[in-house]
Amino acid sequence: MCGIAGQFCFDGRIPDEPLLTIMGDRLAHRGPDGSGSHIRGSAGLVHRRLAIIDLSDEGLQPMTSEDGTLWIVFNGEIYNYVELREELVARGHRFHSRSDTEVILHAYEEWGADCLSRFNGMWGFAIFDENRNELFCARDRFGIKPFYYAIIDGSFFFASEIKALLAHPGIGLQPDDATLGTYLAWGVQDHSGCTMFDGILQLEPAHAMFVSAHGPKTPFRYWSTGVNPMITSDGTDDAIAAKLREKLTDATRIHLRSDVAVGTCLSGGIDSSTLTAIINSLIRNEAPASVGERQKTFSVVFSDRRFDESRFVDAVIAATGVDAYRTEPSPERLWDDIRRLVYMQDEPFGSLSIYAQYCVMRLAKERVKVVLDGQGADELLGGYLAYQGSYHRGLIHSLHWLTAAREICSSFRHHGRFFASAAGQLLARKSRRGLLRIAGPEVKRYSGSLDVVLARELASTNLPALLHYEDRNAMAFSIESRVPYLDYRFVEFVCALPLDQKIRRGVTKIALRNAIRGIVPESIRCRMDKMGFVTPEEVWMKEDLRPFVLEILSSATFSGRKYWDADAVTRNYLAFLEGKSRYSPEVWRILCTELWLREFFDTRGSAPA
């Protein structure tokens, strides 16, 4: 895991070395273990190193091929680098390091752009081919690792984070109003190749591109997967559960490859508890050196029992004997951290649950350098309760009347309070969109049948944003975060399952729940609620954060923005304080956007302490 940046000139100039140095400095938190650069011909590459695999100097970047014609800067991990290295050695390639970075170089030499289909991991990288005077850029299948770029003054600039591109005085001078409007109105971000900065783009998940002396070519998709629309299949639950458990165990095993200590983020939910249990089994049976004799877990707790999952965390600890660490986020410390949090995220974020994850990463930094997390399981296995409406709709449209009636009744029996609350939330959100003076195109996250919705959530409307948050929160503390549920082999298996292996009789994640019977405590396996790393956002916004919010709403900068009716926003917030209107995430999104505008446009992204 590292930070990368670079410049490729296609106008005959040479790269701007002082600018590249500043870009690299702005990524220092991503790579505190070393730095390097290579400037030659039309390309300049910069790297900040977080040493995870091959800690020796042989793993330093930018790294070159044997003949010195290929140069790479790489951010991420290729988990199957051991197997790929053996295959490449058999094909005559010679290696000088034990790093996965060198495996990418040789794989590109052997297979060209087709090498991407062979990688199992997460990546954002750029390879400069001196012979062709060409840059090859690629991003992993799900966008776990970032890759941003901008084209200006006859050059292609790229970086792991937007703040590095802002080192150029002509890049990102204004917000991209359409993308910002979509975020404010619909709560969706990272759903396209655009960002909230005008002129700054991102390479989308599962995409790659070439940049030549004639300029950048159109990015191309190199991988895709759909979700099976079948309602049921002939496969038995037990057989599917056994196969799923096997796939997830192997994904977790390969994600533990590391030359530094690895820990686990444990929320007490099904996904993270499953990873914790699998890792503990691997410790007993295979003793991965990266974990040690006892697994370390990192959790959020709250004194307010409405938001606290300590009892579930305790159940996992009792069952596994892990070395457990906990932290309790507070609204007071949030306001101390808020500027750095906004700066690290680069773009506004949708809720204060991001802060809970930030605190977990800060806690983990004290003891490990890598953490495993459960991101992706909800989008794969229909874990969010809002997906059930899409499931019902698909059943009705496909004329499965009896199944639809059974599912609707079961959903309301198990989750009636959620659906009643969701109806009120929809009305509150629609009303608050009226506070805005801009709005991007409507995003209908839950329109269509369940297979359509899950495919959309994986590729654009939900998972990419969550991975954005995870990457920035982890890298803010120089932590590498890994997500075994997004091992592409596991993803392809789960996507091929029929829909009733995801939702059945109002119960989510059927296949996973069946797979972990006897592995995870029953109190967690049979949980019907959904929390994860959350904060008591509504309570904080009404009580502890009230003076800070009112100060922002009364400021001249807030009143002068073109994006909202400032007086109407203030009245609406006061009505919420008085109990006359219910809370909804739009309140935080508007507030966060104001903080972001101050950080990146009023002060041009100067790094906070």
pLDDT at 606: 60
What does DSSP say about strands 43-49 and 34-40: parallel, antiparallel, or unpaired?
antiparallel
pLDDT at 442: 87
What tokens were used for 579? Answer: 């109990």
For the chain, the first-to-last Cα distance in angstroms comes to 23
Percent of the chain clearing pLDDT 70 (strictly above): 98
**Position 63: which residue type?**
M
The Cα 557–Cα 179 span in angstroms is 21
Of 2, 140, 3, nearest to 463 by C-alpha is 140
Type and span of the H or E element at 522: helix 522-525
DSSP string, 361-389: HHHHHTT-SEEE--TTHHHHHT-STTHHH
For the 2-221 domain, the top CATH level (class) is: alpha beta
**Around Cβ 17, how many Cβ atoms within 10 Å?**
12
pLDDT at 441: 84
Max Cα separation, the chain? Answer: 73
At 308, is the pLDDT very low, low, confident or very high (cuts 50, 70, 90)?
confident
Q: What is the pLDDT of residues 53-87, one digit of tens each?
A: 999 999 999 999 989 999 999 999 999 999 999 99
The Cα 432–Cα 558 span in angstroms is 17
DSSP state of 502: T
Q: What is the pLDDT of residues 112-123, one digit of tens each?
A: 999 999 999 999
**Position 18: which residue type?**
P
| pLDDT of residue 609 exceeding 60 | no
pLDDT at 83: 97
Contact assessment for residue 115 and residue 107, using Cβ atoms and an 8 Å cutoff: yes
Half-sphere exposure at residue 500, Cβ-oriented, CA atoms within 13 angstroms: 16
Contact assessment for residue 49 and residue 60, using Cβ atoms and an 8 Å cutoff: yes
The Cα 190–Cα 521 span in angstroms is 35
The Cα 275–Cα 607 span in angstroms is 35
Q: Is 2 a catalytic residue?
A: yes
pLDDT at 419: 86
The Cα 364–Cα 361 span in angstroms is 5
Q: What is the pLDDT of residues 85-110, one digit of tens each?
A: 999 999 999 999 999 999 999 999 99
Peptide bond into 219 cis (omega under 30): no
Predicted model pTM: 0.96
| pLDDT of residue 360 exceeding 80 | yes
Q: What is the rounded average pLDDT of the residues 390-409?
A: 94
3-state secondary structure of 253: helix
> Which residue, chain included where needed, has tokens 């803010």?
476
pLDDT at 604: 74
**Position 604: which residue type?**
R
Q: What is the rounded average pLDDT of the residues 477-486?
A: 98
3-state secondary structure of 135: strand
The Cα 433–Cα 590 span in angstroms is 10
Residues 320, 322, 324: CA angle, nearest 5 degrees: 135
The Cα 24–Cα 44 span in angstroms is 11
DSSP state of 416: H
Contacting residues for 162 by C-beta, under 8 A, at least 6 apart: 148, 172, 195, 197, 200, 346, 347
DSSP string, 547-583: HHHHHHHTSHHHHH-SSB-HHHHHHHHHHHHTTSS--
φ, ψ dihedrals at 21, nearest 5°: -65, -45
| pLDDT of residue 155 exceeding 70 | yes
Residues 134, 135, 139: CA angle, nearest 5 degrees: 150
Output the average pLDDT for the chain.
Answer: 95
DSSP string, 285-354: HH--TTT-SS-EEEEE--SSTTT--HHHHHHHHHHH--EEEEE---HHHHHHHHHHHHHHHSS--S-THH
Q: What is the pLDDT of residues 523-568, one digit of tens each?
A: 999 998 876 666 789 999 999 999 999 999 999 999 999 999 999 9
- Residues written for the chain: 609
Percent of the chain clearing pLDDT 90 (strictly above): 91
Type and span of the H or E element at 494: helix 488-495
pLDDT at 529: 81
Of 223, 74, 93, nearest to 136 by C-alpha is 74
Contact assessment for residue 146 and residue 135, using Cβ atoms and an 8 Å cutoff: no
| pLDDT of residue 605 exceeding 60 | no
Query: What's the CATH fold of domain 237-384+462-501+509-535?
Result: Rossmann fold (3.40.50)
Type and span of the H or E element at 181: helix 177-186
Active-site residue (options: 2, 194, 265, 592): 2
The Cα 463–Cα 459 span in angstroms is 7
Contact assessment for residue 321 and residue 334, using Cβ atoms and an 8 Å cutoff: no
Of 524, 536, 526, 528, nearest to 312 by C-alpha is 524
DSSP string, 528-550: ----SS---HHHHHHTTTHHHHH
Q: What is the pLDDT of residues 417-437, one digit of tens each?
A: 888 888 888 888 889 999 999
Lowest mean pLDDT among 215-224, 425-434, 455-464, 597-606: 597-606
Contact assessment for residue 196 and residue 455, using Cβ atoms and an 8 Å cutoff: no
Contacting residues for 326 by C-beta, under 8 A, at least 6 apart: 298, 299, 300, 301, 310, 313, 363
Lowest mean pLDDT among 266-280, 425-439, 466-480: 425-439
Structural domain boundaries in the chain: 2-221, 237-384+462-501+509-535
